């Protein structure tokens, strides 16, 4: 589904990604872990098409298409979803409008008719219940005045409504208390499906107690140094990141 | 310093004045005096602080025919009906007065003079300020003066829709003049609607005096939809009495060059004013709003929130000034101006000013000018919205903060219709 080969990217003159290789198949959950500054968020941003990053080398193929050649909205319509580390507050654009416009953009891409108001509301209500969100959120501005936890839940709500093929979760666990973490993890687990891939970017192992990954990668200084199963995450939790770096240096 | 009116310009306005004087009757002396004042002051120069960002060179170079006294229905473009009670002025002269609500009277200058209203009230020229010259020109040349009175404790259910039309194939000037008085304890809504067409350059020099008496409440909804080639200069001079309020909305949407001077005097304890405004300076429009609030008495409140959008070669100017005078203890003056530049060639000049002479007051002012938030744009696009749709949503959200406060449905709908059409066109054009 997603094939990243030798990806190099920089911000200004600073090289951040220095040759990332990653294969993600449908149905898989990947966790990308790494210390601060390792390039985790840059990777997620490059995949979603955020401006300000320059890809200097390498390719990213998504469902047989050149992902890097697509505009951010084309990626979204083709089924890529990024749950932001810092969801943006947009006063004056309400949540219901955004959800509906986003859903219709994706449906249009699939050749489906626009969702009607009744179906839309019943869909949203179900998903909001899942995310334990109050319906009053719908008429509020996007993320406006939301707490950190509410913003993260809103990201997962959008994801649940849009049903992406490839979900990228950028530090979705950061700033969450344990109850919110459970709600968010529930939402994500509810989306696990044979035709959907999920890539979790995280600093801590904690999230992986709730969302069990198939593959864990360690990203450090812009490269994936090691990949393994979920036991790798536990080892990282115990031993920190340094030993991976040291071993890589030796090898 | 001002350059006195001279040469061709003087000859042109002088000729207009001579024909106005011929039919001035009892008001001849007042009009002559006013014209002399205008000739003395002339047009403002670039050195005039009040006109620093708005040049009138283009206006000064144009020649306009005097407005006709009779009006021609053909001159009047279709204007949306925003209330069952409507008064239409075409080129400053009354063309229609229909079904006024109980408790509201509308008289012409002649009628008011016959009723014994003093000329000094009806044809006042407030001294000073950057627009005294235009107030004087207005008195010298006004075709009529409309006196709108809201009776004591009257509370008409429907608003009064005042339409000032300047249109037609010939470049004309009009000097509409209004005196609006809300008597003690009354509550009323008035829509002040400038309308026009794009056939020729029109010059509208409007003067509006507003008096809100003790415990009265006046809502004023201004809709500036003058012709796209027009020059519009308007001065609104308002005085608010004890425990009275003037609640004003402004939507400045059209004209080639428009300048609003809104001066509000909070003259007695407990007087309040709120102004919520929006301008859309796209194309080659130059839209200027000068808002000044004088707190002259204790316990007075002013809230000003004005937003501007500029695009293309458009230019916006906002000057907001609150003056808290020495006796105005416990006053509260808040002022915000937010501006959005949609394209690189557009420009907005914003100048908030505060002068405080009392010591126990709450005052704040702030001004920001920026572009659409790149992070918000990316967020929306990452959800599948096209760039155009994302820009549109963010631009509408910016205006929405002001629009959502428009508590008169017909007015809000009229503003929405213009904004929608213009923003759609604007956002379809690549930046």
Helix (H) or strand (E) holding B261: strand B257-266
Sort out which chain B residues have CB atoms less than 8 A from A97's CB and list them: 393
pLDDT digits (tens, 9 = 90+) for A128-160: 998 888 888 899 999 999 988 899 999 999 999
Does some domain include residue A145? no
* DSSP three-state, residue B325: coil
pLDDT digits (tens, 9 = 90+) for B135-145: 999 999 999 99
Look-up of token digits 């409140």? B301
pLDDT digits (tens, 9 = 90+) for A168-218: 999 988 888 888 899 899 999 999 999 999 999 998 888 898 999 999 999
Helix (H) or strand (E) holding B284: none
| Eight-state DSSP code of residue A67 | G
What is d(CA B319, CA B348) in angstroms, rounded to the nearest whole number?
A: 11
Cβ of B378 and A77 within 8 Å? no
Sort out which chain B residues have CB atoms less than 8 A from A101's CB and list them: 383-385, 389, 393
Q: Name the average pLDDT for chain B.
A: 92
Q: How many CA atoms lie within 13 A of B234 on its CB side?
A: 31
Share of chain B above pLDDT 90, in %: 81
Q: Is A111 left (phi over 0), alpha (psi -120 to 50) or beta?
A: left
Residue in chain A closest to B391 (alpha carbons) equals A93
| CA B384, B389, B390, B393 torsion-angle sign | negative
Does some domain include residue A104? no
What is d(CA B5, CA B41) in angstroms, rounded to the nearest whole number?
A: 7
Does some domain include residue A8? yes
Q: How far is CA B425 from the centre of its chain?
A: 25
Question: Does the pLDDT value for residue B356 go beyond 50?
Answer: yes
Sort out which chain B residues have CB atoms less than 8 A from A88's CB and list them: 373, 375-376, 378-379
Sort out which chain A residues have CB atoms less than 8 A from B378's CB and list them: 50-51, 72, 88
Does some domain include residue A90? no
Both tokens of residue B207?
A: 């003067």
Cβ of A102 and B386 within 8 Å? no
Q: Which of B373, B383, B396 is nearest residue A98 as measured by Cβ atoms? A: B383
Does some domain include residue A95? no
Q: Which residues contact B28 (CB under 8 A, 6 or more apart)?
A: B21
The total of structural domains in chain A comes to 1
pLDDT confidence tier of residue B3, bands split at 50, 70 and 90:
low
Domain of residue A208, CATH code: 3.40.50.300
Both tokens of residue B358?
A: 């009392």
**Which one, of B365, B430, B420, lies nearest residue B395 by Cα?**
B420
Question: Does the pLDDT value for residue B426 go beyond 90?
Answer: no
* DSSP three-state, residue A195: coil
Does some domain include residue A97? no
Cβ of A92 and B380 within 8 Å? no
Minimal C-alpha gap between B107 and chain A (Å): 43
pLDDT digits (tens, 9 = 90+) for A65-119: 999 999 999 999 999 999 999 999 999 999 999 999 999 999 999 999 999 989 9
pLDDT confidence tier of residue B1, bands split at 50, 70 and 90:
very low
Q: How many CA atoms lie within 13 A of B54 on its CB side?
A: 27
Its ipTM equals: 0.96
Asked if B312 contacts B298 with a C-beta cutoff of 8 angstroms, the reply is no
Partner B, chain A 29-88, Cβ-Cβ below 8 Å: 48-51, 71-73, 75-77, 81-82, 84, 87-88
pLDDT digits (tens, 9 = 90+) for B299-338: 999 999 999 999 999 999 999 999 999 999 999 999 999 9
pLDDT digits (tens, 9 = 90+) for B204-246: 999 999 999 999 999 999 999 999 999 999 999 999 999 999 9
pLDDT confidence tier of residue A251, bands split at 50, 70 and 90:
low
pLDDT digits (tens, 9 = 90+) for B57-88: 999 999 998 876 555 554 556 788 899 999 99
pTM: 0.89
Range of the domain at A218: 2-82+158-250
What is d(CA A138, CA B42) in angstroms, rounded to the nearest whole number?
A: 57
Cβ of B384 and A158 within 8 Å? no
What is d(CA B321, CA B49) in angstroms, rounded to the nearest whole number?
A: 13
Cβ of B381 and A73 within 8 Å? yes
pLDDT of residue A249: 76
Asked if B392 contacts B422 with a C-beta cutoff of 8 angstroms, the reply is no
Cβ of A73 and B387 within 8 Å? yes
For B31-36, the CB contacts below 8 A with 24+ separation are B31/B123, B31/B139, B31/B140, B31/B141, B32/B140, B34/B123, B34/B125, B34/B136, B34/B137, B34/B138, B34/B139, B34/B140, B35/B136, B35/B137, B35/B140, B35/B141
Minimal C-alpha gap between A173 and chain B (Å): 19
pLDDT of residue B94: 86
For B7-21, what is the mean pLDDT? Answer: 86
Q: Which of B153-157, B366-370, B427-431 has the lowest mean pLDDT?
A: B427-431
Q: Nearest 5 degrees, angle CA B402-CA B406-CA B411?
A: 120
Does some domain include residue A183? yes
What is d(CA B104, CA B89) in angstroms, rounded to the nearest whole number?
A: 17
* DSSP three-state, residue B400: helix
pLDDT confidence tier of residue A241, bands split at 50, 70 and 90:
confident
């Amino acid at each position: 589904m997603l094939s990243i080969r030798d990806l190099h990217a920089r911000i200004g003159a600073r090289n951040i990604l220095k040759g990332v290789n990653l294969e993600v198949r449908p149905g898989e959950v990947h966790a990308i872990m790494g210390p601060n500054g390792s390039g985790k968020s840059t990777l997620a941003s490059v995949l979603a098409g955020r401006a300000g990053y320059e890809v200097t080398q390498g390719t990213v193929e998504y469902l047989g298409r050149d992902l890097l050649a697509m505009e951010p909205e084309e990626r979204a319509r083709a089924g890529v979803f990024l749950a932001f580390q810092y969801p943006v507050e947009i006063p004056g654009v309400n949540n219901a409008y955004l959800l509906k416009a986003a859903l219709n953009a994706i449906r249009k891409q699939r050749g489906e008719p626009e969702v009607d108001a009744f179906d839309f509301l019943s869909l949203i209500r179900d998903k909001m219940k899942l995310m334990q969100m109050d319906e009053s959120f719908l008429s509020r501005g996007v993320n406006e005045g939301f707490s950190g936890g509410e913003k993260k839940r809103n990201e997962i709500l959008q994801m649940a409504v849009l049903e992406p093929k490839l979900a990228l979760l950028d530090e979705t666990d950061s700033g969450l208390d344990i109850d919110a973490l459970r709600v968010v993890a529930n939402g994500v687990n509810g989306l696990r499906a044979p035709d959907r891939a999920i890539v979790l970017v995280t600093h801590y192992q904690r999230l992986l107690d709730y969302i069990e990954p198939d593959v864990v990668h360690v990203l450090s200084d812009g490269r994936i140094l090691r990949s393994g199963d979920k036991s790798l995450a536990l080892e990282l939790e115990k031993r920190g990141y340094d030993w991976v770096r040291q071993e890589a240096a030796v090898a | 310093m001002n350059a006195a009116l001279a040469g061709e310009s003087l000859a042109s306005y002088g000729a207009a004045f001579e024909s106005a004087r011929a039919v001035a009757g009892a008001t001849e002396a007042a009009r002559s005096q006013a014209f002399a004042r205008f000739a003395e002051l002339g047009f403002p120069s670039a050195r005039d602080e009040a006109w620093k960002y708005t040049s009138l060179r283009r206006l000064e170079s144009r020649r306009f025919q005097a407005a006709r006294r009779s009006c021609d229905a053909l001159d009047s473009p279709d204007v949306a009906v925003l209330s069952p009670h409507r008064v239409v002025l075409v080129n400053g002269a009354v063309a229609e007065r229909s079904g006024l609500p109980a408790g509201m009277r509308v008289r012409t200058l002649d009628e008011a003079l016959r009723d014994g209203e003093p000329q000094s009230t009806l044809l006042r020229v407030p001294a000073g300020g950057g627009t005294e010259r235009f107030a004087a020109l207005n008195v010298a040349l006004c075709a009529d003066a409309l006196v709108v009175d809201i009776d004591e404790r009257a509370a008409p259910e429907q608003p009064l829709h005042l339409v000032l039309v300047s249109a037609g194939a010939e470049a004309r000037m009009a000097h509409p003049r209004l005196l609006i008085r809300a008597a003690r304890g009354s509550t009323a809504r008035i829509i002040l609607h400038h309308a026009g067409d794009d056939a020729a350059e029109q010059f509208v020099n409007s003067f509006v005096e507003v008096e809100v008496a003790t415990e009265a409440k006046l809502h004023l909804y201004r809709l500036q939809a003058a012709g796209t080639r027009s020059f519009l200069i308007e001065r609104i001079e308002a005085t608010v009495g004890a425990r009275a309020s003037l609640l004003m909305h402004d939507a400045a949407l059209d004209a080639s060059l428009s300048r609003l001077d809104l001066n509000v005097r909070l003259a007695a304890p407990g007087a309040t004013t709120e102004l919520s405004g929006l301008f859309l300076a796209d194309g080659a429009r130059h839209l200027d709003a000068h808002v000044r609030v004088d707190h002259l008495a204790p316990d007075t409140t002013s809230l000003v929130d004005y937003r501007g959008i500029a695009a293309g070669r458009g230019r916006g100017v906002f000057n907001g000034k609150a003056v808290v005078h020495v006796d105005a203890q416990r006053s509260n003056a808040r002022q915000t101006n937010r501006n959005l530049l949609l394209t690189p060639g557009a420009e907005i000049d914003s100048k908030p000013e505060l002068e405080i002479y009392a010591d126990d007051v709450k005052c704040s002012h702030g001004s920001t000018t920026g572009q659409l938030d790149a992070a918000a744009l990316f967020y929306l696009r990452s959800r599948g919205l096209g760039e155009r749709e994302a820009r549109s949503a963010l631009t509408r959200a910016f205006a929405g903060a002001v629009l959502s406060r428009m508590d008169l449905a017909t007015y809000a709908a009229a503003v929405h219709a213009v904004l929608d059409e213009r923003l759609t066109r604007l956002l379809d054009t690549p930046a």
